[in-house]
Amino acid sequence: MNGNELTYDDFLRRLTIQDVLIDAGYRLNRRDGLRYPSYVRTDSDGRRVRGDKFIVTANGQCCFQPPQQKLYNIISFIKEHPQFFAEYRAGISGDRLVNLVCNRLLNQPIPERETRIIQPRRDIRPFNIDDYDIHKFNPQDKETQKKFYFFFKHRGIDLYTQYAFHRDFCLATRKRPDGSSYTNLAFPLRLPKEPEKVVGFEERGRARMDGSGSYKGKAEGSNSSEGLWIGSPAGTALGDATHIYWFESGYDAMSYYQLHQKENKDLRKAVFVSTGGTPTVEQMRGVISRTRSARQHICFDTDAAGREFADNLKKEIHRIVKSGIESTPERKAYLETIPAGGGIDGGNADLLPDALRSCYGKYEAAWEEVMSMRSSGLCHPDDIKEQESLMNRQYRDFRNGLRDFLGLDEKDDTRFVREEPKAPCKDWNDELLAGIRQETSTRENRPREEDTEQERKTGFHR
């Protein structure tokens, strides 16, 4: 980066969310007043698009789309609504789009970049497990466990966690025509509709001697668009699970289990899935369609890619829930105002029955009060917490009423929760390793502290 290029901090300091909303095609809605300016879209006839409104927060740096509580700043708004901007092209990265849009708004020239297109290989054979020599982990045989030491040691994953998932990983050795062979830790990829069928491997290599990392990828010919790793310590079948935990790798899933299994005994019965990298729509649909009544725990990484994966999974959950609603004449107008990928509570509340619209109004008023109390800096935390409880109760009442209106059974209203490792850790294995380093440091310092205390009592100094 040269000295003239602007950073995200520059964009956040020099642009407001209102600049970006206007550039995205929204205009100020004066009917809502100016305490919290709102922006709406209009169609080709100049009429307001129902249910498509963003409200700007008190500091002018963020906005939200009621009834959702998620806040967007200029960076996250551009990344999550790329289609609104002239620079958007299929396949463009979110960071590149933010740079192009923000530099244009600031009249800052940005150099053109050559586009590279990599042609995929077309001579790859489909995955066949018979091409591999498989070595399994036997909890009753220590000799079988020793070969896994080099794959789990540098990740901090202990033997108890390996026992718990012993059915769901193995060592796979592939012999090449030139006589060479490669052994990797393999997490079998399975199809949700045919869980007994292995359609590939999520592979992880041994740590390099210089500590520079290790190989990670998929076995050649793997069906990684539909297949994913599915594991459960108690052997729970996908269709019987009440909790599904989503990860980007098998290592992260095992790390999460090791971190939380002591305080959450139900984790043994849960089902853990790994997409092995970039989650696909087919992977999401395959799992969710068989686990509608289960709670989905979204545990992807906290980097930009992980946040994008999490949002894609939420949209797919919303789409599946909406697809189960019958579009009767009284519901049709409301359903049509729900944005693509939005939840069932994202439509135009003005099109709901009077009682339900009133219920929504109470929730929105409570939400605005929470925002005001948080941003003022003058309210006691307990008062804010009390107001948040009121807001949550109002939302539950609205959600229950909305479900009744839409004829949606509670078991089909798929629930989800986003779980993130402790900052600044990017993923669950980072958090596990950070905890181990902290324990090691504490243990090494303890004798020194005890010696110092002994010296203080006896008055003896070395």
Q: Quick count: other Cβ atoms within 10 Å of Cβ 60?
A: 11
Residue 19 and residue 82 in contact, taking contact as beta carbons nearer than 8 Å: no
pLDDT at 245 over 70: yes
Q: Residue 124's pLDDT is what?
A: 75
Determine the straight-line distance between the first and last CA of the chain, rounded to whole angstroms: 54
Output the CA–CA distances (angstroms, integers) from residue 54 to 21, 34, 73, in the order listed.
8, 13, 12
Q: What average pLDDT does range 229-255 have in this prediction?
A: 95
pLDDT in tens, 115-128: 666 666 667 788 99
Distance of CA 119 to the CA centre of its chain: 29
Sequence-ordered strand ranges (E) for 279-422: 295-298, 415-418
Distance CA 237, CA 36 (A): 49
Q: Residue 462's pLDDT is what?
A: 44
pLDDT in tens, 43-73: 777 777 766 788 888 777 888 887 777 788 8
Distance CA 158, CA 162 (A): 6
Cβ-count burial 222-254 (b if 16+ within 10 Å, e if not)? bbbebbbbbbbbeebebeebebbbbbbbbbbbb
Helices 329-336 and 381-406 cross at an angle (nearest 10°) of: 130
Q: What radius of gyration do the chain's Cα atoms show?
A: 26
Least confident of 134-148, 208-222, 247-261: 208-222
Least confident of 74-88, 142-156, 240-254: 74-88
Output the CA–CA distances (angstroms, integers) from residue 2 to 5, 10, 97, 187, 281, in the order listed.
6, 14, 19, 43, 38
Specify the DSSP class assigned to residue 131.
Answer: G
pLDDT: which is higher, 5 or 242:
242
Specify the DSSP class assigned to residue 423.
Answer: T
> What's this model's pTM, rounded to 2 decimal places?
0.73
**Smallest Cα–Cα separation from 62: which of 107, 20, 9, 106?**
20
Q: What average pLDDT does range 136-140 have in this prediction?
A: 93
Residue 297 and residue 273 in contact, taking contact as beta carbons nearer than 8 Å: no
Confidence of residue 82 (pLDDT cuts 50, 70, 90): confident
Strands 181-191 and 194-204 come out as antiparallel
Q: What average pLDDT does range 318-345 have in this prediction?
A: 88
Confidence of residue 114 (pLDDT cuts 50, 70, 90): low
Strands 295-298 and 415-418 come out as parallel
Structure tokens at 172: 């796979």
Distance CA 180, CA 433 (A): 33
**Smallest Cα–Cα separation from 410: which of 293, 329, 275?**
293
pLDDT in tens, 318-331: 999 998 889 899 99
Residue 93 and residue 30 in contact, taking contact as beta carbons nearer than 8 Å: no
Distance CA 276, CA 263 (A): 27
Task: DSSP for 262-289, please give it.
Answer: TT-GGGGGSEEEE-SSS--HHHHHHHHT
pLDDT at 2 over 50: yes
Q: Residue 454's pLDDT is what?
A: 62
Least confident of 31-45, 102-116, 143-157: 31-45
**Smallest Cα–Cα separation from 142: which of 119, 159, 125?**
159
Confidence of residue 159 (pLDDT cuts 50, 70, 90): very high
pLDDT in tens, 402-420: 999 999 888 888 889 999 9
Instruction: Please name every residue paired with 189 in a beta bridge, in sequence order, or none if there are none.
Output: 200, 229
Sign of CA dihedral 125, 130, 134, 136: positive
Q: Quick count: other Cβ atoms within 10 Å of Cβ 20?
A: 26
Q: Residue 148's pLDDT is what?
A: 94
